[in-house]
Amino acid sequence: MNREPTTPVYSQELHAPIPQDDAAKTRSYSKYIILTVIGFQICIVIAAMLFALLYKHDNVVKSKLDSLARDYYENYLYDAFVNSVQASGSTTIEEVMEKHSARGLSRITLRQMLLHDAKGNADLAEYLRSYCNENKTYMQIFPDPPFDKTSYHIKYTYSCNFQ
């Protein structure tokens, strides 16, 4: 049994790099771009959800306080000023409001606004009390010309647990 050792046959074709056509390169590059864009969009969605969860109470509480303050001024306080001016008869509402436009009306606490319409604000009062201190959260109204019900701006001082 005389066998000769066999030597492996190497072919240049077997060890030569396999040429890739340009279409295959473009497809792999496109896949990379698509996966990167999808990953980026997923990160943006997760960040937006976290941001919304973290700052939701802040915006909701401020929005509810703003609507409560606007309702208080437009439906109660402004009418009280008008009635007071009409009873005195010596000045006009514009003169009275102009005096208060620079320094503002007196501070109104959250407690005062909630007690003004306790029945109508029962649910809102419960919600706001869970976030804000009634005696340290207040607003101050600054009347603006032409001094009607909707011409004013409000400065808020919050004492709420979202800060």
Looking at residue 22, what is its pLDDT?
Answer: 56
- Average pLDDT over the chain, rounded to whole? 82
This prediction has a pTM of 0.63
Give the residue among 98, 108, 114 at the shortest CA–CA distance from 146: 98
Question: Domain limits of the chain?
Answer: 56-157
pLDDT at residue number 41: 94
DSSP 50-108: HHHHHHHHHHHHHHHHHHHHHHHIIIIIHHHHHHHHHHH-SS-HHHHHHHHHHH-SPPE
Map tokens 């201190």 to a residue. 133
The most confident of 50-54, 57-61, 75-79, by mean pLDDT: 75-79
The arithmetic mean of pLDDT across residues 111-127, rounded, is: 84
The helix/strand/coil state of 85 is helix
Q: For residue 163, is pLDDT > 50? A: no
**On the CB side of 108, how many CA atoms lie within 13 Å of its CA?**
23
In one-letter notation, the amino acid at residue 55 is: Y
Confidence of residue 42 (pLDDT cuts 50, 70, 90): very high
